[in-house]
Amino acid sequence: MKRFVAALAAALLTTAAASAQTPGDPGAGTQRGIEEVNNSGQVGTVTLFNGGANTRVLVELHGTIPGRGQSVRFYRGPSCDDIGSSGPAYYLTDMKDGASRSVVKAPEDKLLSGNYNVVVFSTNAAGSRATACGHLYQ
């Protein structure tokens, strides 16, 4: 089991470093981890690319079901355990085949203020449960 976890961590780091940069972005972006929720087995990364007033967001997850769309949202809250009840702060493009690419109308430093979390849901249908979450911080 320890070998599997180590291999998964190495694969995540290698994949994230290779795919973090998006076309037209000169930097590697700011990357944070995403952990599984509700024993989903889904883990990955969220990478933010500073674009001034807008931020490009790349969410990549391992353990997703091919072809199934999954909702991705930014919620306000100090941690994944406390995302508040006010609903999503920002809606991201649905995840498809383990990836979601979006542009959020907020500066990167605001999203990395420690007040936001990225949450992935099992499907894009209403009432679906969270499968992964990552806290955004500086």
Contact 73, 118 (CB under 8 A): yes
Specify the range with the lowest mean pLDDT, choosing from 22-31, 41-50, 97-106, 111-120: 22-31
Q: Give the model's pLDDT for residue 88.
A: 96
Using pLDDT thresholds of 50, 70 and 90, give the confidence band for residue 110: very high
| Distance, CA of 133 to chain centre | 7
- Name the pTM for this structure: 0.80
Q: Give the model's pLDDT for residue 26.
A: 56
Using pLDDT thresholds of 50, 70 and 90, give the confidence band for residue 85: confident
Domains (range + CATH), the chain: 2-136 (2.60.40)
- CA 54/CA 24 separation, integer angstroms: 14
Q: Is 132 left (phi over 0), alpha (psi -120 to 50) or beta?
A: beta
Q: What is the mean pLDDT of residues 105-115?
A: 97
- CA 123/CA 33 separation, integer angstroms: 20
52: pLDDT strictly greater than 60: yes
Q: Give the model's pLDDT for residue 126.
A: 87
